[in-house]
Structure 1
């Protein structure tokens, strides 16, 4: 996870501010750069900087800004003498990231419900009212490792899995193969998926229309990386 994404939430706790960059000037800076965004909030950081949230296409992103509102930027690396400032910036990104993830997760759960026929549902080994939701791509190394933990997850929680083709043509073919061969039998489906998660496996040529529609539905929620996991 990069710093910009991993720090994405820390700002809202600083809503009471002084000396923060002027929203009108910040908005003019966006307009001057032909960015169709809205300044949601601005909070003083000190040292001539403010922490700013910009909403673009219904998604919020964190920026640092000069107090005159004429410059916005994202800090990939922050090195400061004042560790309190560094800590506040990290918290700013962290809190905003968590808020955005809650919004994405809510939309994603709606996709799981709407795409029920395409969801691989695995029951816990013992009755459980907990459910883990996972979005996965067969060609993602981290997804392959996550699937290897399936039996461990099933010790105490149910698992619902959606497979997508984020990582190219072969990923989409594998997702299509999985949807076509989905049986509803837990043991058979796990065995079938295990083969597709093998790095050396290849997706068999077939119609990918259903897999593409599912992948687009998941991407429409704001999920941008896999595995995407909603913990119970």
Structure 2
């Protein structure tokens, strides 16, 4: 799984009065500047269950890439995460998951139907969304078991390639051909044709077509998705 990664510059640090400016000073230093990192605080709020502890949401940017991070403050300390041993809840993971679902939902609800490959149509089954790349080995493995997955749920796929122009070209051809398919079996056959690792390149795809696929993928990665296959229940996108 290929992941977009921004260098983390903080683990656990003690500061004198954790004001916003002092938190930022831990990030905006010569070392982070040397990596082209810039950091700003997007949100700060108290944790109701833990009086005196604030959650601070940071936006870390490196070139055209950005991602959020979350830290917690208490008195003179910066804490990377809060973990409730009894409930098994990571407050950082919980916030990041809800934030991602919210951003993803906003994008998905506006998505053109031509960019969503639908498999299965059973109202009694849940529906899952899969973001996928025809050249990703993990995505190929996921596709190999698609028939088994369809026994339990409906599937909606959006092509979000991260392996460059060839992968975007395959994505374009998948959309082009599945649009004409009349059954799930035909769609799966087309998907498996372009996910086959022996297929090195495809013809008949313009640079404009590739650019459109790049824009489609970028739109989803900008929500905070870090790799593919990315799988989420559609019920979480409300």
Q: Which has the higher helix share?
A: 1
Please report the TM-score for the alignment, with normalisation by the length of structure 1. Answer: 0.67
Matching residue within 170, 186, 189 for 2:187:
189
The question of 1:61 aligning with 2:63 is answered no
Structure 1 spans left out of the alignment, 5+ residues: 6-18, 76-83
Alpha-carbon distance in structure 1 between the residues aligned to 2:123 and 2:76: 59
Structure 2 spans left out of the alignment, 5+ residues: 6-15, 48-52
Aligned alpha-carbon RMSD (Å): 3.8
| Cα offset, 1:197, TM superposition | 1.4
Contact 2:24–2:39 (8 Å) recurs in 1? no
Structure 1 pair 85/102, CA: closer, same or farther in 2 (3 Å)? closer
Alpha-carbon distance in structure 1 between the residues aligned to 2:75 and 2:200: 54
Alpha-carbon distance in structure 2 between the residues aligned to 1:22 and 1:42: 13
Q: Counterpart of 2:41?
A: 38
Alpha-carbon distance in structure 2 between the residues aligned to 1:107 and 1:200: 36
| Cα offset, 1:52, TM superposition | 4.2
Contact 1:137–1:171 (8 Å) recurs in 2? yes
Contact 1:138–1:175 (8 Å) recurs in 2? yes
Give the 3-state SS of the residue equivalent to 2:201 in structure 1: coil
| Cα offset, 1:143, TM superposition | 0.9
Deviations 1:141-166 (A, max 9, x none): 11111112221222242211111221
Q: Which has the higher contact order (CA 8 A, sep 6+)?
A: 2
Contact 2:41–2:56 (8 Å) recurs in 1? no
Please report the TM-score for the alignment, with normalisation by the length of structure 2. Answer: 0.65
Q: Counterpart of 1:176?
A: 172
Structure 1 consecutive aligned stretches of length 4 or more whose deviation exceeds 6 Å: 72-75
Q: Counterpart of 2:113?
A: 116
